[in-house]
Structure 1
Amino acid sequence: MSLRKLISVLFLTLFVSHPALALNIMLTNDDGYQHPWLRTLQSVLAEAGHDVTIVAPQANQSGQSAALTLDALRNSADAITNPAEGVYAVKGSPATAAILGATKVLPQRPDLIISGINEGANIGVFSSFSGTVGATVAALHMAGAPIPAIAISSNLLDAKAEASAPANLQHAKQIAEFMVTLVAALQQSQTDNAPLLPRGIALNVNYPALPQAQIRGAGIYRHGHDIKVYYNQKTPLPAALTTGELEQDTFGLRQGFITIVPIDGDYTAPDWQGLLPASLVPSLNKQP
């Protein structure tokens, strides 16, 4: 599936309801299984006809990136509880919850793993440290064959209130409805029963903290390289240090766009073969 085709479909379907075939979707997050935004996403996806199961950390695990809780992986029976129907709590990190959900909880591998809705944007350099994004990396690399995965995050609409406040719950519902649209667009882009996303690719999606009428659209971006990240607060976005870099998610989100960043969880540097001096390896392999 072409990502260029995906974005064209997204622009056509944004905020428009489309029927979709039922998918087996697993939800996780890094805020804990009781977070109201996670439950909102579960409800909206279920209303759209999908089979939705929550497998999320028992407690808040923000900032854990793709860390693994080895005790939980080795003793999964002791690490997983079932506090409600369709809801499983894991004594471990978001990545651990994603792995155990796909391999131990669900009777069959999910068609899609969605991590979020996270309370707080996960954009730019901050994404590498996000437990929300880390769960999608685990879905790509640690659960056998890659599982299509999407991380979804947003700042609070009412920054002075809790996530459970009416304005923020309405914001979460708005985001969840967009996720239904995104999933439907991905399904429309499928050919020959292919996975929802290219093999080994996940999406890191961020939704502006704006009323729906002020959302300017959706686009595909790269992670921004801004370095001033206010990780001690939920509200501010990273401060831009450069101008004119329209392809960066940090810029797009500030402009009111829903940002979609394709990720692969591979830390190998681009152009890795040409980054180091050609003389380095021969000099290391010289016989004493």
Structure 2
Amino acid sequence: MRILITNDDGVDAPGIAIMAQIAQSLSDDVWIVAPDGNQSGASHRFTLGRELALEERGPRRFAVIGGSPADCVVVGMTHLLDDKPADLVLSGVNAGQNLGDIVNCSGTAGGAREGALQGAIGIAMSQSMNYEVSRTVDWSNASRYGAATVRAILAAKGGDDVFYNVNFPFCSPDEVAGIAAVPHQRFARSPFRYYPSDNAGKFFVAIPETPTPLDPESDFEVLRKGNRITVTPFSLQQSHGAALARLGTIALKGR
């Protein structure tokens, strides 16, 4: 199995080293193509109309200068591995959880999504953290359970047109209660807000707090309260069937 790794925290981020260990326990044909710096929040952005550069950082290890995770997957799949594209694209391991509607802006998810669109199995992986306690990431659960989680997904996969989003809980490894396939939390409205800065005339776009209520069966609560590794399949076909059926009855009037 040929594996391509990318991330959105950058080629030198600690999480990508964890992902490399996970991948190397699954295959001896592992490649890394990742942004040269932090691309968090890049979602599925492509760098169009601006030249990029590819820099070799070691054997089968490359950085895309100024590129997004999606750019990196394209470079890996259609240039570096063009003779034999990767079977599996692993994106992460991200520092911090990617849950609910927040997945829509995740560069980690974007890398896995582009991997799936390129014909591979795409899996995004994130190690959650308790931001109220510390900004330090404990990678223990991703390191201990990452390979087993990938194997479980590969064993259960069908011909579905999806990519997978995985989050590891921030409890101790011995407290992990297993793995759960769950839907993502759909918020009543976007969690992103204007957030004023202490610097006059400046502001942030940020997530000041998690919207409520939260579904106890969704990724947020199963991860946080259940101490379970969450796996959520996301469809690549985003057209809404019921809405299409309703729109099928519309017609222009006044013709």
User: CA deviation digits over 1:248-267, x for unaligned, max 9?
Assistant: 21221122221111112333
- Counterpart CA distance in 1 for 2:243 and 2:165 is 24
Judging changes above 3 Å, is the alpha-carbon distance between structure 1 residues 235 and 268 closer, same or farther for their aligned structure 2 residues?
closer
Match of 1:132, SS state, is helix
C-alpha contact (below 8 Å) 2:114/2:122 kept by paired residues:
no
Q: 2:218 aligns with which of 215, 225, 248?
A: 248
Is 2:143 the counterpart of 1:182?
no
Q: Which amino acid aligns with 1:223?
A: H
Deviation at 1:150, TM superposition (A): 0.2
- Counterpart CA distance in 1 for 2:91 and 2:77 is 13
- Counterpart CA distance in 1 for 2:230 and 2:123 is 12
C-alpha contact (below 8 Å) 1:25/1:53 kept by paired residues:
yes
Q: 1:264 aligns with which of 224, 228, 235?
A: 235
Normalization by structure 1: what TM-score?
A: 0.73
Deviation at 1:103, TM superposition (A): 0.9
- In the alignment, which residue of structure 2 is the partner of 1:217? 178
Match of 2:251, SS state, is helix
Q: Which amino acid aligns with 2:56?
A: N
- Counterpart CA distance in 1 for 2:205 and 2:169 is 16
- Counterpart CA distance in 2 for 1:139 and 1:222 is 21
Q: Which amino acid aligns with 1:97?
A: C
- In the alignment, which residue of structure 1 is the partner of 2:55? 81
Match of 2:229, SS state, is strand
Normalization by structure 2: what TM-score?
A: 0.82
Deviation at 1:177, TM superposition (A): 3.4
Judging changes above 3 Å, is the alpha-carbon distance between structure 1 residues 128 and 40 closer, same or farther for their aligned structure 2 residues?
same
Q: Which amino acid aligns with 2:210?
A: P
User: CA deviation digits over 1:204-255, x for unaligned, max 9?
Assistant: 111111111221221111111234747989999834314xx34321221122
- In the alignment, which residue of structure 2 is the partner of 1:96? 71
The root-mean-square deviation of aligned C-alpha atoms, in Å, is 2.9
Task: Point out which structure has higher relative CO (alpha carbons under 8 A, 6+ apart).
Answer: 1
C-alpha contact (below 8 Å) 2:191/2:207 kept by paired residues:
no
- The number of equivalent residue pairs is 240
Q: Which amino acid aligns with 1:247?
A: E
Judging changes above 3 Å, is the alpha-carbon distance between structure 1 residues 246 and 270 closer, same or farther for their aligned structure 2 residues?
farther
Deviation at 1:135, TM superposition (A): 1.2
**Richer in strand (by share):** 2
Judging changes above 3 Å, is the alpha-carbon distance between structure 1 residues 122 and 147 closer, same or farther for their aligned structure 2 residues?
same
Q: Which amino acid aligns with 1:152?
A: M
C-alpha contact (below 8 Å) 1:155/1:234 kept by paired residues:
no
- Counterpart CA distance in 2 for 1:247 and 1:201 is 20
**Richer in helix (by share):** 1
Q: How does 1:59-138 map to 2 (within 5 A)?
A: 59-71=37-49, 79-91=53-65, 92-106=67-81, 107-138=83-114
- In the alignment, which residue of structure 2 is the partner of 1:155? 128
C-alpha contact (below 8 Å) 1:230/1:238 kept by paired residues:
no
Q: Which moved more, 1:233-242 or 1:210-219?
A: 233-242
Deviation at 1:65, TM superposition (A): 0.7
User: CA deviation digits over 1:64-95, x for unaligned, max 9?
Assistant: 110101246xx5xx521111222110121111
Judging changes above 3 Å, is the alpha-carbon distance between structure 1 residues 50 and 116 closer, same or farther for their aligned structure 2 residues?
same
Q: Which amino acid aligns with 1:208?
A: P
- Counterpart CA distance in 1 for 2:8 and 2:38 is 6
Match of 2:183, SS state, is coil
- In the alignment, which residue of structure 2 is the partner of 1:38? 16
Match of 2:221, SS state, is helix
- In the alignment, which residue of structure 2 is the partner of 1:3? none
Q: Which amino acid aligns with 1:93?
A: S
Q: Which amino acid aligns with 1:60?
A: N
Identity %: 26
